[in-house]
Amino acid sequence: MKSVASAGAAVSLMTGQSAFAAGESGYWSKDLPNDKLVDMFTTIVRIRWHERTMADKMASDPNYRGYNHFYAGQEAVAAGVCAALNNKGGVLEADLVYSTHRPTGHAIAKGMDMKKMAAEEEFKATGINNGYAGEMHLSDASIGFIGADGMIGPGPVIATGSAFAIKARGSKQVVVNFGGDGTYATPHFHATLNNAALLKLPFIYVLENNLYHQYAHYSYSCPMKDIADAARTYRIPGVVVDGQDVFQVYNVAKIAVDRARAGEGPTLIEAKTYRYYNHWGAPGVKPGELGAFGYDPLAISSFRPEREVRAWMQRDPVVIARDVLINWGVLTRARADQIEAAAKQEAIEAFAWAAQQPNCKPEDGLRNVFVEGVVPARQFG
Ligand SMILES: Cc1ncc(C[n+]2csc(CCOP(=O)(O)OP(=O)(O)O)c2C)c(N)n1
Ligand SMILES: [Mg+2]
């Protein structure tokens, strides 16, 4: 067992085991400045209202062209992890985030502009990626958000390439790769952790275990209860954290980030969490209501018992963060309500702005494909 005393937290990381169960990390985040704590709550409600607004739009507006793999329910993971990162300065300065097919929470937590993001989700010409990306390929180099990735598997391998480059340059950046429980069974997961461990890369694998990959429970593809136990094989810290509690997520992320920056190598963090909507799109969504229950026509059967969804919704990341901050005297109820109302308004305005934006033109499809003129050979220059 390796103590991480330098981080000042009342926690320790065990090499090769799930280091500490939810609740044991102690609220080290309580020592953060109030502004920082309020920022984490704000990030959570901004993500939540982005998701709710978009889900309602998908369910109610047949002309809406956007789609999403909704992140509602998992907000505390993105918010807690990104609060421990440097999110400014472009790819040579900011910490880098590699995201998944479920990227909208990661993007907002990293600092993506919500209006440009909403426009991108509708494939508008003024979207953050000029309409080329949509939800599944969102990216913003200026904040170190390398981007979403529709492929289950290869992302972390590329992320370790960035971590290797950072190490070679002697930069103090770190790389975070988000991945789902579905990535455990891919060869990339294991190659990534093996290489990151052998090369002692500044790399953190944040595995969001929301119990399902598409429509199958993770126990169908992983023999362990805690996927963090896989870290034992690679002799790196493996940490289980309550993914519904942003302050606990922040604690473990901060320790892992400090470790990586200090040249001590990678960490695997498994955040136990849950998503409130179905795997993809808005089946089962009733406008105005949070979450989707019951039959998903894309699944073979109704794979998630409604009571399971509702039980997880009792441990809602918005409510947990809000109650902790009210309990600590950091927020009043009235201020928390104001912050949430402002987040809702921001999301409504972002989608309204996006709806007014111009569509791409057919000829835009050929932009960035062919280069005009002569391209000098650069590989030896
Ligand atoms: C290589 C590859 N195989 C299959 C898919 C289809 N697919 C999309 S999402 C998904 C499951 C992902 O599950 P998980 O990693 O747990 O993430 P979650 O959706 O739960 O966030 C699969 C198999 C894909 N996108 N890429
Ligand atoms: Mg999953």
- Quick one: pLDDT at residue 143? 98
User: Band of the pLDDT at 3, cuts 50, 70, 90?
Assistant: very low
**According to the model, what pLDDT value does residue 379 have?**
59
Q: Is 16 a member of any domain?
A: yes
d(CA 206, CA 200): 17
**Measured CA distances, 235 to 2, 30, 229, 238 (Å):** 11, 31, 10, 9
299 has a pLDDT exceeding 90:
no
- What are the residues whose beta carbon lies below 5 Å from ligand 2 (ion)? 180-181, 210, 213
Q: Is residue 325 part of a domain?
A: yes
Residues contacting residue 257 through CB under 8 Å, at least 6 positions apart: 84, 85, 95, 174, 204
Ligand 1, from 106, 214, 304: best to mutate by most atoms within 8 Å of Cβ? 214
Q: pLDDT value at position 367?
A: 81
Name which of 140, 139, 151 is nearest 100 in CA terms.
Answer: 151
Tell me the C-alpha to C-alpha distance, in Å, between residue 328 and each of 34, 35, 334.
10, 13, 15
Rounded mean pLDDT of 167-184?
97
DSSP string, 16-69: TSB---TTTT--GGGGS-HHHHHHHHHHHHHHHHHHHHHHHHHHH-TT------
Residue 158, H or E segment = helix 155-169
Residue with CA closest to ligand 1 atom 9: 214
* DSSP, residue by residue, 184-249: TTSHHHHHHHHHHHHTT-SEEEEEEE-SEETTEEGGGT-SSS-GGGGHHHHTSBEEEEETT-HHHH
Q: Mean pLDDT for the chain?
A: 90
Q: Is residue 379 part of a domain?
A: no
Of residues 7 and 318, more confidence is placed in 318
- Confidence tier at 298 by pLDDT (50, 70, 90): low
Residue 370 domain flag: no
Q: How far is the CA of 12 from the centre of ligand 1 (A)?
A: 32
Query: Of the residues 67, 71, 101, which should be mutated to test ligand 1's pocket, given the most ligand atoms within 8 Å of the CB?
Result: 101
215 domain-assigned: yes
| Ligand 2 centroid from CA 208, angstroms | 7
Average the pLDDT over 350-374 and give the result.
Answer: 88
The ligand minimizing its distance to the Cα of 211 is: 2
- Mean pLDDT calculated for residue range 57-61: 96
What is the position in ligand 1's atom list of the atom closest to the CA of 150?
25
Is residue 373 domain-resident?
Answer: no
> With bands split at pLDDT 50, 70 and 90, how would you rate the model's confidence at 293?
confident
For residue 16, what pLDDT band results from cuts at 50, 70 and 90?
very low
Give pLDDT tens digits for 62-100.
Answer: 999 999 999 999 999 999 999 999 999 999 999 999 999
Structure confidence at residue 27 as a pLDDT band (50, 70, 90) = low
Q: Could you tell me if residue 287 is inside a domain?
A: yes
pLDDT digits (tens, 9 = 90+) for 90-133: 999 999 999 999 999 999 999 999 999 999 999 999 999 999 99
Domain that holds residue 152: 2-361
Q: What is the mean pLDDT of residues 234-238?
A: 97
Any idea what the CATH number is for the domain that residue 349 is in?
A: 3.40.50.970
Asked if residue 168 belongs to a domain, the reply is yes
**Cβ contact 201:165 at 8 Å:** no
Q: Looking at the predicted structure, is the pLDDT value of residue 207 above 70?
A: yes
Per-residue pLDDT averaged across 2-13, rounded? 33
Domain count for the chain, please give it: 1
User: Is 40 in contact with 77 (CB distance < 8 Å)?
Assistant: no
